């Protein structure tokens, strides 16, 4: 592990491209889940919670 | 006290993000959705503690995170996983053409220490500011920044992104001398 690396001088050109690529990949990893429609189980849960909320005193 | 409609609507709208965050914490889809379920219930029961107009997403992420770690503590499990399943299958160097493979990326992500991955996911995949992420995690802003920075450096290393031919000319790679023979990449 390079100990002289961290937090001091990023190498600008490389850094920017690499970070952009990482950021893109990171978002891709989760984009599938994020673009899925909300599963029924959660819609049902919210509905249930709402129903029991409104009958509470 | 009944729950305002706006609360319910907003809660609904962050569910996709919560599912994604849960996945980054639990790593399996089933456990992730269970965690989302528990989070939603807790959020609902605490709705009176939520200040309308503030960041609901950050608020629910905090609840989820607390729930996740409290469950981990109860089960006496090591918070930091040693090896994700995929990590052990990770090839020691990435794709030839410099195109980062999604499998490799996921494995490298999984390989990160828990706190680094979490910080990276909050900043890089959920668009929180450093301040917001720091609040969610309950640490100083500087700590989040350093975790994100370490996560990124580690990914760069694990994925071999600092090698010549990937992104730039000699001048750059001469700073980052790897032990990998450069000609084997062709």
pLDDT at B27: 79
Which residues of chain B does CATH 1.10.1740.10 include? 1-76
> Is the ipTM here above 0.90?
no
On the 0-12 / 13-18 / 19+ scale of CB atoms within 10 A, A50 is middle
Looking at the partner chain, which of A11, A30, A35 has a beta carbon nearest the beta carbon of B175? A11
Which residues of chain B does CATH 1.10.10.10 include? 97-186
A48, part of any domain: yes
pLDDT at A21: 86
Q: Please tell me the distance in Å from A3's CA to the nearest CA on chain B.
A: 11
pLDDT at B153: 93
Which chain B residues are Cβ-neighbours of A22 within 8 angstroms? 124, 152, 155-156, 161
A7, part of any domain: no
B163 vs A15, higher pLDDT: A15
Which chain B residues are Cβ-neighbours of A57 within 8 angstroms? none
Q: Which domain holds residue A32?
A: 15-55
Best residue in B27, B152, B157 for a mutation probing chain A (most A CBs within 10 Å)? B152
Enumerate chain A positions whose Cβ falls within 8 A of a Cβ in B: 2, 5-7, 11, 13-14, 17-19, 21-23, 25-30, 33-36, 38-39, 41-43, 45-46, 49-50, 53-54
Tens of pLDDT, residues B106-156: 899 989 999 999 999 999 988 899 999 999 999 999 999 999 999 999 999
B51 CB contacts (<8 Å, ≥6 apart)?
A: none
Tens of pLDDT, residues B132-146: 999 999 999 999 999
Confidence of residue B183 (pLDDT cuts 50, 70, 90): very low
The CATH T-level fold of domain B97-186 is: Arc Repressor Mutant, subunit A (1.10.10)
Q: What is the DSSP track for B32-66?
A: HHHHHHHHHHHHHHTGGGS-TTS-HHHHHHHHHHH
Cβ–Cβ pairs < 8 A, chains A and B: 96
A49, part of any domain: yes
CB contact under 8 A, B16 and A35: yes
Tens of pLDDT, residues B31-41: 999 999 999 99
CA distance B37 to B5: 19
- At the second CATH level, the architecture of B1-76 is Orthogonal Bundle (1.10)
B70 vs B175, higher pLDDT: B70
Nearest residue of chain A to residue B157 (CA atoms): A1
Q: Is the pLDDT of residue B176 over 90?
A: no
CB contact under 8 A, A18 and B167: yes
Q: Is the dihedral of CA A38, A42, B15, B65 positive or negative?
A: negative
Nearest residue of chain B to residue A31 (CA atoms): B20
Q: Is the pLDDT of residue B1 over 70?
A: no
Confidence of residue B2 (pLDDT cuts 50, 70, 90): confident
pLDDT at B131: 97
Q: Is the pLDDT of residue B77 over 70?
A: no
Count of domains observed in chain A? 1
pLDDT at B84: 47
Tens of pLDDT, residues B43-75: 999 999 999 889 999 999 999 999 999 998 888
């Amino acid at each position: 592990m390079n100990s002289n690396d961290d937090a001091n001088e990023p190498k600008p050109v490389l850094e920017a491209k690499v970070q952009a690529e990482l950021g893109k990949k990171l978002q891709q990893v989760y984009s599938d889940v994020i673009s899925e429609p909300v599963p029924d189980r959660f819609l049902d849960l919210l509905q249930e919670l709402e129903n029991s909320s409104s009958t509470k005193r | 006290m009944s729950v305002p409609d706006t609360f319910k609507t907003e809660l609904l709208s962050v569910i996709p993000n919560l599912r994604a965050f849960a996945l980054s914490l639990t790593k399996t889809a089933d456990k992730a959705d269970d965690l989302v379920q528990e989070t939603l219930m807790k959020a609902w029961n605490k709705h009176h503690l939520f200040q309308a107009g503030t960041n609901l997403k950050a608020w629910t992420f905090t609840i989820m995170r607390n729930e996740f770690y409290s469950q981990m503590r109860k089960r006496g499990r090591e918070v930091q996983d040693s090896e994700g399943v995929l990590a052990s299958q990770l090839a020691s160097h990435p794709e030839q053409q410099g195109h980062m493979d999604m499998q490799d990326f996921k494995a490298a992500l999984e390989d990160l220490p828990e706190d680094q991955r979490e910080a990276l996911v909050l900043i890089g995949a959920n668009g929180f500011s450093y301040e917001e992420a720091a609040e969610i995690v309950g640490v100083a802003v500087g700590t989040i920044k350093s975790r994100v920075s370490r996560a990124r450096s580690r990914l760069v290393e694990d994925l071999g992104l600092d090698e010549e031919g990937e992104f730039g000319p000699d001048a750059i790679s001469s700073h980052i001398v790897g032990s990998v023979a450069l000609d084997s990449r062709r």
